[in-house]
Every structure is written in C-alpha cells, then in structure tokens.
Amino acid sequence: MICDGALSYVGKIPTNLPRRLVPAVKPERILAAIHADGVADVITLPGQEGLVPSNQIVANAADPVSISLRFHEALCEIDGFLWRHFDSEVHPTATIHPVAVVADRDVRIGANVQVGPTSVSLERTVLDEGVRVGVGVTVGLDGF
C-alpha cells in the first residue's frame, strides 16, 4: 500500500462505474487510467509509482490484476455494499418455459421477457423488458 484510497468498485479502465480501482501495467495504460472518468485508484507495478499522481495510487504489486481481483472479492464480502438480496420477481407478462430454472432470489424478469426451455437464470440476473433467453442458455455466470 502506498496511500489510502476511496473506492467503490473494481473495474477495467473503460468501465462506467464511479470511484473505481483499476489495474494498469503498461505506461500507456497507466496514462489512460489516470485520465479516465471515474478512476479513483490505480494498482501498478513496483517502480511505476512516479507515473501516477499521488492521490490516485493505492498499491503496487508484481501482479496488479490479481491484487485488484482480491480487492473485488473483499468488496463483495461486505454485506449490502454492492448488492442487496431480494426475492426473485417475474413480471406478469413474462413467459417462463416450464422446464426453465429461475433462482429463488436475486432475479428480476421484466415485461414481455421470454425464457426458453432448459435455460437457467442464476442469482443476480436482471432481464429487462423484451429480452429473449434461448433454449439451454445460462444467464448470470461468474465473469470479470
């Protein structure tokens, strides 16, 4: 750690989230990060601290991406910080195939959504109005 930071999210440089922490290794990516809207803090390699304004660096590490993912995991463990659980909600005009699976919580299915057979909607899935989920599709897999 080099200085304290005020972050709310971990993301890539072009991610549209406020007060985010981003890993940046190459000098051109560091430059892009410090000028991007919403980037509060940067994790970079040891020896590259001079490329980042002192108010935007939180840490340096041999593997900035891995460290940023550890920050993300820590934020996810704070109950209610990034997500508040709710019982799944299905709009009355949505069509859910009888052999589709929808998680009991944290799924919101909007108006005129069609969910096909053998598809799966995992927790933390939001299907906005008019979305069509095809046969055998899984929505809500872990990703960066």
Average pLDDT over residues 16-24: 91
Question: Residue 33 above 70 pLDDT?
Answer: yes
Least confident interval from 19-23, 36-40, 78-82, 115-119: 78-82
- Other C-beta atoms closer than 10 Å to the C-beta of 73 total 10
Q: What is the pLDDT of residue 77?
A: 83
84 band by pLDDT with thresholds 50, 70 and 90? confident
**Better pLDDT: 39 or 141:** 39
Question: Residue 95 above 90 pLDDT?
Answer: yes
Q: What is the pLDDT of residue 120?
A: 96
pTM above 0.85, yes or no: no
Task: Judge whether 41 and 21 are in contact, CB under 8 Å.
Answer: yes
Q: What is the pLDDT of residue 85?
A: 87
Least confident interval from 8-22, 70-84, 117-131: 70-84
| Backbone torsions φ then ψ of 92, nearest 5 degrees | -60, -20
Question: Residue 44 above 60 pLDDT?
Answer: yes
- In the chain, where the domains are located: 9-76, 89-136
What mean pLDDT value characterizes the chain? 89
Task: Judge whether 130 and 111 are in contact, CB under 8 Å.
Answer: yes
Task: Judge whether 64 and 48 are in contact, CB under 8 Å.
Answer: no
What the block records as the tokens of 50 is: 């001079």
Q: What is the pLDDT of residue 144?
A: 45
Q: Residue 7 and residue 137: Cα distance in Å, rounded?
A: 34
Question: Residue 39 above 70 pLDDT?
Answer: yes
